[in-house]
Amino acid sequence: MKKVYFMMMLVLGFAISSCSSEQSLQEFYISSAENPNFMSFDLPSSLLDLEKANLSDSEMEAASSLKKLNVLAFQKKADNEADYQAQKATIKSILKADDYSELIKMNTSMGKATLQLKGDDDSIDELVIYGDNDEKGLILVRVLGDDMNPASFVQLIQAMEKSDLNGKGLEKLGNLIKG
């Protein structure tokens, strides 16, 4: 009986110690859905109109690996400054986790942005685009796909440039974000 009790306590101890107290990006997206300052939506890759663009075979292969984009936007206003700062700090701490590798860091006239990926050299699990502007707010975009290859990601960006990124669907989205 003591051995069974000891084994149960050992298994329970391993189970408790393996749980992470850090919030994942997916958990952040879910919890932010309840925050009225956030706007969240999923965009299918079909909204980018990549099928209508004149793509090479390699660009089409890269484009077919893209499945959807999860977008989370926070429009900053005078009355939500504290929440904005807290959410910004939370996102930055999640992205500093060991799971994400920073590819690009940019300072532009529109604000600061980073491009980070999760995965290995052969296959990207997700690509994260994060940008903030202390006057306008922040945006967090998760690019999700199947077997996204880092080497072909440049081709995917080229494919997006050839597509109708200023199409009617994205115009409505832009107007929604602007408020």
Residues 30-79 pLDDT 10s = 999 889 999 988 888 766 666 666 677 777 777 777 788 889 999 999 99
Condensed to tens digits (0 to 9), the pLDDT of residues 134-162 reads: 999 999 999 887 777 766 666 666 565 55
Residue 12: what pLDDT? 44
DSSP per residue, 42-83: EEEGGGGTTTTS---HHHHHHHHTEEEEEEEEEE--GGGHHH
Tell me the whole-structure pTM to 2 decimals. Answer: 0.70
Least confident of 60-64, 114-118, 163-167: 163-167
> Among the residues of 45-105, which ranges form H helices?
57-64, 81-95
